[in-house]
Amino acid sequence: MLDWPPQIPVVSISSLFFFRQLGTFGAWHLLQPAPLMPPLVIDLRKTEDARDVVHRAVQALAEGKLVAFPTETDYVIAASARDATAVGRLIELSPQRPAEPRVTLALKSADEALDWAPRLSAIGRRISRRCWPGPVAIIVADEHQESLVHRLPLGARSGIVGAGRLRLRVPGHPMLADCMRMLAGPVALAEPCAAETPPVTALDVMALADGQLALVIDDGRARYAQPHTTIEVDDYDFRIVHPGIVSEETMRRLSSLMVLFVCTGNTCRSPMAETIFRQLVAERLECRPEEIQSQGVVVASSGIAAWGGGKASVGATEVMAETGGDLSGHESQPLTENLVRQADLIWTMTAAHRTAILAQFPEAGGRVAMLSPDRMDVIDPIGGTVATYRKCAQQIRALLVARLATILLPGFKQKG
């Protein structure tokens, strides 16, 4: 809060007498700001209890001080985003780049991204879920009135928002993550650099901080000691803004749409769904089924009670062959936490499959649905005749045609 009107300092008679005795130069020297105190440096590698370091860092941030933290790629300077004065000091330490915010907003996890960028596109959500925590910063449009950025002090917003954009990051170092969990409110980061070379040691960041640091957390040389990758996302795609440790090729893979089909044993219904979906996507993208991954679409299947390495059933293999599909090399796999975390769409064959997934992975609720929009179970052909498998495949195909019409495929915008 602005302190207005300013208070006039009270100088006692004895003080005035003291200044007269000192003379003009002595009095001028006393009134100058004291030299900045060197920061407290804590070596994490020699610390017995990291919790004490966390409490010290959180207290410093809460008091409006600047703290240097290690990340997986470099060292950053942090301040409470709720403190406009502290963010202003960060701005002075941050390089000015065209059409970018001066400072970065650090998030606790990818789950927070929509709080700050409510209109984050599907590709932005995919990348954030797969890359965070990690060495990728994402620039997004700040255009939604419900964004939490509008609750920050105006002085802080001037550095966190630039050219209508926010830069978000979830660093992968546990010390900064632990501090953010304990601090009320978000954290802003300055990422100072010299000639585009990031500080990769505590001494590096201290040299760039212009004496502004109160505390430095030293964890030795940063693990990767390279710049992180900065991208900007829109509704359909992303572009590399600042190249870094994560290559564009890797970013392309991480931005792919992944669709996962789930049944019980991963030998009948879900492998057929995977095969048919590949064919339908290939038709839409005008490529061969084996090429859809290079077009940004990954398809997989699994079973909630599957054993690894099982072959597709004879009936499923025969019926898929009738339409040009090949299940001869299929190997069943169980549904795992990693598959659930990576998948953008998880389509189940029955209501029971969906219930089982949500019971084990409730955080995936927004991405799990029955293949049938009308919540009708896909018939189970196991043990049935080829005709039963054929009927099941026809049901799956009809449901997939309807589903495909509702999703935006990577690469389709350019062809549409």
Helix (H), strand (E) counts: the chain: 16, 15
| Residues ≥6 apart with Cβ < 8 Å to 390 | 319, 322
Tokens standing for 53? 């370091």
| Block residue for tokens 């060495």 | 135
* Closest listed residue to residue 71, CA positions, set 234, 201, 180, 160: 201
| Residues ≥6 apart with Cβ < 8 Å to 357 | 262, 304, 335, 340, 346, 348, 364, 368
Asked if residue 78 lies in contact with residue 176, where contact means CB atoms within 8 angstroms, the answer is yes
Sign of the torsion formed by the C-alpha atoms of 212, 215, 219 and 224? negative
Report the alpha-carbon distance of residue 310 to residue 332 in Å, rounded: 5
Give the residue ranges of DSSP H helices in 243-385.
Answer: 248-254, 269-285, 314-322, 337-342, 351-360
Measured in residues, the chain has a length of 416
Tokens standing for 327? 């299940």
Asked if residue 148 lies in contact with residue 27, where contact means CB atoms within 8 angstroms, the answer is no
Catalytic sites, residue numbers: 263, 269, 380
Tell me which H or E stretch contains 168.
strand 165-169
Residue 11: how many CA atoms within 13 Å on its side-chain side? Answer: 8
Asked if residue 187 lies in contact with residue 80, where contact means CB atoms within 8 angstroms, the answer is yes
Four-CA torsion 131, 134, 136, 141, nearest 10 degrees: 70
* Closest listed residue to residue 165, CA positions, set 108, 122, 124, 111: 124
CA 376 to mean position of chain CA atoms: 35
Asked if residue 177 lies in contact with residue 70, where contact means CB atoms within 8 angstroms, the answer is no
Tell me which H or E stretch contains 213.
strand 213-218
| Block residue for tokens 């004490």 | 52
